[in-house]
Amino acid sequence: MRAMEIVRSVAANTPKNNRLLAALPEDDYDALLPFLEPVVLPLGMALYESSGVQSYVYFPTSSIVSLLYVLEDGSSAEIAVTGCEGLVGIALFMGGETTPSRAVVQSAGHGYRIKAAALKTRFDGGGSLQYLLLRFTQALITQMTQTAVCNRHHGVDQQLCRWLLLSLDRLPANDLVMTQELIANMLGVRREGVTEAAGKLQAAGLIEYSRGRITVLNRPQLEARVCECYAVVKQEYDRLLPPGVMERA
Amino acid sequence: MLAALPRKASRRFLSALRSVELPLGQVLYQPGSASRHVYFPNDCTVSLVAVADSNSALEVGLVGKDGMVGIPLALGVLTSPVRALVQGAGSAMRMTSARFGRELKHNPPLQRALNRCAYVAMATAMQSAVCNKAHRLGPRLARWLLMAADRVASDHFQCTQESMALMLGVRRSGVTAAASRLQRRGLIRYSRGAMQILDREGLLAASCGCYEVIRSLERTAGVRVAA
């Protein structure tokens, strides 16, 4: 991201760019506001390491964070993506002490973070905040389970389309700042597989990929090629989260 | 899980439970349709299956003794995204969704216990997802057999080859071959749907590390699973 872009986007950034925070009733939002601090989330930054203790919960506004599950032998695969529609760090309020997954920024941008204890106190108080976060958790579980079955049964081409669409739904813009290496990590496939699949999409005029930036040119065509796993996840997020959370600005 | 409740709340909660027999293959939830009950298995096991299309599915959770079927209801959602399928016949206690919702509202300790339960279920789903992608069938089958045995608290249980294939997201012939290899090594005995674990230590050594990871998740979150 160029320097001017960063300056501009920091200035324009407010916690309400995170649609989950924006969906809170005014009272709940105001109660959280003093505890939210803005953060820059550069590409590749790890918000959590697996089995590490988490100190903060993150609310992305213009970035995407990928939850990666790491096995003992070092291999990993993405199990979910979260952007401006959600938060990263559900273990903190769900009662898990540590997280078994890694959280890595896979599209650079901004967000807000809050100290774990501050969020947990308000979550345990019940009310709208708890209700909303639990529903988000259920939506996230759906994304994880659908990603699992998709990874098992569908080809790289379809998985790449799913991944691009899920990511786009979680960003305010139409392009992603990222590398093929990262995509390959996300999908748990070899880099050449991603290069080939991305090449096909580019040749068909659906995306443009250049110097670490993917721009989606033809979304309807991308939707026509994706497996049903995308729709399953999308519908569940639409249904479970308040109106506006999944709508693109 | 219920032990976490204050005694009075626990009595009221227990009084709303009804016993039910669940036959092999019964579908408790279909993806997207309303869940009418939550289930607490006694000696049955229930698979949670994510569905890709009419031909492809994959197990993302296995619930038995000490677990609950109906996590979405605990999170305030009335439908399940996955199919819940009785994988080992047996009995369970169940409660209507409406009553369960009311109990939760008056019971912050129960809500907290269920949140932990949901978290472990989610972590287990993640672990299985990556395991299915990264590990070979033999070690995965060994992992699955150990998990299934924990959930019925017995080294004997019923399971068909079709269901094992569905659970692991592979073809039936693959499961047949993997199971016979474990049998030849004297780790299990399998005949006409009856599974018996003969050498638990050996099976543990044959399984991938994911089994231990899932066990330790359950322990740290305070969810009791029979050994």
Instruction: Name the pTM for this structure.
Output: 0.85
Name the residue among B77, B120, B130 with its Cβ closest to that of A76.
Answer: B130
More confident residue, A231 or B1: A231
Name the residue among A96, A146, A151 with its Cβ closest to that of B123.
Answer: A96
Q: How far is CA A54 from CA A47, A49, A113, B59, in A?
A: 8, 9, 12, 29
SS3 B185: coil
The answer to whether A126 contacts chain B (CB < 8 Å) is yes
The per-residue pLDDT for B12 is 84
Residues in A 166-195 with any Cβ partner in B closer than 8 A: 188
* CB neighbour list of residue B53: distance below 8 Å, 6 or more residues apart: A153, A227, A228
Mean pLDDT of A58-73: 87
Mean pLDDT for all residues in chain B: 86
The per-residue pLDDT for B84 is 95
Taking the CA of residue A50 and the nearest CA in chain B, the distance in Å comes to: 12
Handedness of CA A237, A242, A244, A245 (dihedral sign): negative
Interface test with B, best of A102, A152, A154, A239 (most B CBs within 10 A): A152
Which of chain B's residues have a Cβ under 8 Å away from the Cβ of A229? 52
CB atoms within 10 A of CB B147: 23
The per-residue pLDDT for A31 is 93
The per-residue pLDDT for A13 is 80
Which of chain A's residues have a Cβ under 8 Å away from the Cβ of B75? 134-135, 137-138
Mean pLDDT for all residues in chain A: 86
Measured CA to CA, the distance from residue A211 to residue B154 in angstroms comes to 56
Mean pLDDT of A29-39: 95
Does residue B1 register a pLDDT over 70?
no
Percent of chain B at pLDDT > 90 equals 39
Asked if B52 lies within 8 A of A227 by C-beta distance, the reply is yes
Does residue A83 register a pLDDT over 90?
yes
The per-residue pLDDT for B85 is 92
Nearest Cα residue in chain B from A142? B81
CA B56 to chain centre: 19
Asked if B128 lies within 8 A of A148 by C-beta distance, the reply is yes
Give the burial class of A70: count Cβ atoms within 10 A of its Cβ; 0-12 exposed, 13-18 middle, 19 or more buried.
middle
The per-residue pLDDT for B3 is 60
Asked if B75 lies within 8 A of A96 by C-beta distance, the reply is no
Interface test with A, best of B122, B218, B223 (most A CBs within 10 A): B122
Interface test with B, best of A54, A94, A102, A144 (most B CBs within 10 A): A94
The per-residue pLDDT for B109 is 81
Does residue A208 register a pLDDT over 60?
yes
Does residue A154 register a pLDDT over 60?
yes
What confidence tier does B39 reach under pLDDT thresholds 50, 70, 90?
very high
Residue holding tokens 């790890």? A46
Does residue A12 register a pLDDT over 80?
no
- DSSP assignments along chain A, one per residue: --HHHHHHHHHH--GGGSHHHHTS-HHHHHHHGGG-EEEEE-TT-EEE-TTPBP-EEEEESS-EEEEEEE-TTS-EEEEEEESTTS-B-THHHHT-SB-SEEEEEEE-EEEEEEEHHHHHHHHHT-HHHHHHHHHHHHHHHHHHHHHHHHHHHS-HHHHHHHHHHHHHTTSSSSEEE--HHHHHHHHTS-HHHHHHHHHHHHHTTSEEEETTEEEES-HHHHHHHS-HHHHHHHHHHHHHSPTTSS---
Taking the CA of residue A110 and the nearest CA in chain B, the distance in Å comes to: 26
Q: Which of A62, A101, A113 is nearest to A83 (CA)?
A: A62
Does residue B4 register a pLDDT over 60?
no
The per-residue pLDDT for B226 is 30
Percent helix / strand / coil, chain B, rounded to 5: 45, 25, 30
More confident residue, A46 or A3: A46
Does residue A170 register a pLDDT over 50?
yes
What confidence tier does B23 reach under pLDDT thresholds 50, 70, 90?
very high
Token duo for residue A227: 């497996």
Say which range, A228-237, B41-50, B106-115, has the weakest mean pLDDT.
B106-115
Measured CA to CA, the distance from residue A169 to residue A11 in angstroms comes to 23
The per-residue pLDDT for B227 is 28
Q: How far is CA A85 from CA A106, A153, A249, B213, in A?
A: 15, 27, 12, 30
- Residues B152-184 have pLDDT tens digits of 888 998 888 888 888 888 888 999 999 999 999
Say which range, A90-99, A229-238, B113-122, B188-197, has the weakest mean pLDDT.
A90-99
Q: Of A196-205, B100-109, B208-217, which one has max mean pLDDT?
A: A196-205
Does residue B224 register a pLDDT over 70?
no
Mean pLDDT of A53-81: 85
Helix (H) or strand (E) holding B191: strand B188-191
- Residues B42-70 have pLDDT tens digits of 989 999 998 887 777 888 888 988 789 99
The per-residue pLDDT for A5 is 57
Contacts across the A-B interface (CB distance below 8 Å): 146
The per-residue pLDDT for A221 is 93
Does residue A191 register a pLDDT over 50?
yes
Does residue A1 register a pLDDT over 60?
no
What is the ipTM for the molecules in this complex? Answer: 0.79
Percent of chain A at pLDDT > 90 equals 47
How many residues in total does chain A contain?
Answer: 249
The per-residue pLDDT for A43 is 87
Mean pLDDT of B91-120: 88
SS3 B65: coil
Does residue A214 register a pLDDT over 80?
yes
